[in-house]
Amino acid sequence: MGTKVNIIVGSHVWAEEPDVAWVDGEVVKINGEEAEIQVANGKKIVQKLSKLYPKDMEAAAGGVDDMTKLSYLHEPGVLQNLATRYELNEIYTYTGNILIAVNPFQRLQHLYDSHMMQQYKGAPFGELSPHVFAVADVAYRAMIHEGRSNSILVSGESGAGKTETTKMLMQYLAYLGGRAATEGRTVEQQVLESNPVLEAFGNAKTVRNNNSSRFGKFVEIQFDKHGRISGAAVRTYLLERSRVCQISDPERNYHCFYLLCAAPQEELDKYKLEHPRTYHYLNKSNCYDLVGVSDAREYLATRRAMDIVGISTQEQDAIFRVVAAILHIGNIEFAKGKEADSSVLKDDKSKFHLETAAELLMCDPGALTDALCKRVMVTPEEVIKRSLDPYSATISRDGFAKTIYSRLFDWYRIVSFCSLLHIYVTSVQIPLQHRRKIAFIVSTHHYIAGLLIKLIVPSGKMLTLNVLLVSW
């Protein structure tokens, strides 16, 4: 539906244009329900009156920082205001208490340093320029003064910047709620380091984004009655399991596979790994490296983050053994067996990868072969084993790889959470009535995320703030 404002000859309006979404122009003629519009580039277009929107000719040249100040709050007016501010490197804009962020696709370190945090600390909402720190500050102050938990909903399309925005929110809350170190590591340091650890296993390069989260997450930061961070929890949902076996050019599989293939040589020897192009699950795309990113350095950084979070060396080794095993499993190929509809390992190369995967998973090679080449059906009377043809065995192989990666991701997240929870329990004993929390729910689907907040958080117990992200 268009606007109900009376449009006459001489009115300045916005009209739909397939190539650029919206164009502005002046109505030069009206013929019944249609109007002829002279647009800026000299062209004349005809559009239905019901699809025209009035243009504010008195709008500020630099746009407005809160779009409730716009004379006309409609789609073309909102987009024009965001575009105007974006050209001035103003990536944040309010719409009431909702923050809209437009991804700049570049590092703007000056917007997120300690000086900027100090500026927004305790500042009334709307007094300073729009910023993600202002949203976090409102949530924190409301929690402190009103004694209730709060939530921040971060939503946007793929590539809009949800992951980075969540990290900035956590960084600011860690700044506000810092406390003394426990066993050489501060609680907020562990909370922040849990992010890159989770990203290594749940993020991947997509067409639009080099670090796209392929899962939704609910992040909960817990505070004591003095407003200091006491612990954290992360719940994940809807992991993209199919990516483990299926990627398209120029995307990549999950970061952890490439990080492990770039590990020091002694690690590669231990897991019997080579260049990513060697592996079936990685070489379906020609993209193996990210511009400006060293997988070797990221591997070491991930290991350090695991240490800080509290994941033991033995647990780290178990995690990467499973990651390496999945790569080897993907290289197992099958050929037709002697019996009808049966399959066997195709060649010595496949046998090597199967034996290596079995060694890494600490299971019997024969049992692993049976698991891939046979289907087991359990009835009340007996256990029936049915052979699979090569095609079915390949499907079984991929299903097995997706399942163990999904289980690894869930187990890994639980281990990370338990490490944080251990600090929460051992560093300070807080009565239940004194515990407060700020939660983030990060999702591509704003409506679904809102429902999840209602399901996870008891009704009426949280104030919800919204951060909407856009890629321009």
Output DSSP code: residue 375: E
Q: The tokens 């500050």 sit on which residue?
A: 137
Alpha-carbon span 145 to 456, nearest angstrom:
23
Output DSSP code: residue 109: G
The CB density around residue 82, as the number of other CB atoms within 10 Å, is 20
Alpha-carbon span 252 to 209, nearest angstrom:
11
Q: 160: annotated binding-site residue?
A: yes
Alpha-carbon span 437 to 468, nearest angstrom:
21
Q: What are phi and psi of 237, to 5 degrees?
A: -155, 155
List, in sequence order, every residue forming a beta bridge with 424; answer none if it has no partner.
Answer: none
The CB density around residue 172, as the number of other CB atoms within 10 Å, is 24
3-state secondary structure (DSSP) of residue 148: coil
Alpha-carbon span 140 to 121, nearest angstrom:
10
Contact 209, 220 (CB under 8 A): no
Query: Residue 278: what residue type?
Result: T
Alpha-carbon span 276 to 438, nearest angstrom:
40
Element holding 100 (H helix, E strand): strand 98-103
Alpha-carbon span 14 to 24, nearest angstrom:
4
Q: 163: annotated binding-site residue?
A: yes
Residue 114, Cβ density class (10 Å: 0-12 exposed, 13-18 middle, ≥19 buried): exposed
Element holding 217 (H helix, E strand): strand 216-223
End-to-end CA distance of the chain: 25
To 5 degrees, how large is the angle CA 413–CA 108–CA 99?
A: 70
List, in sequence order, every residue forming a beta bridge with 217; answer none if it has no partner.
Answer: 236, 442
Q: 157: annotated binding-site residue?
A: yes
Q: 162: annotated binding-site residue?
A: yes
The alpha carbon of 123 is separated from its chain's Cα centroid by a whole number of angstroms, namely 29
Contact 285, 250 (CB under 8 A): yes
Q: 461: annotated binding-site residue?
A: no
Alpha-carbon span 195 to 197, nearest angstrom:
5
The CB density around residue 59, as the number of other CB atoms within 10 Å, is 17
Q: 161: annotated binding-site residue?
A: yes
Annotated binding site for ATP: which residue ranges? 156-163
Going by the annotation, the residues of the binding site are 156-163
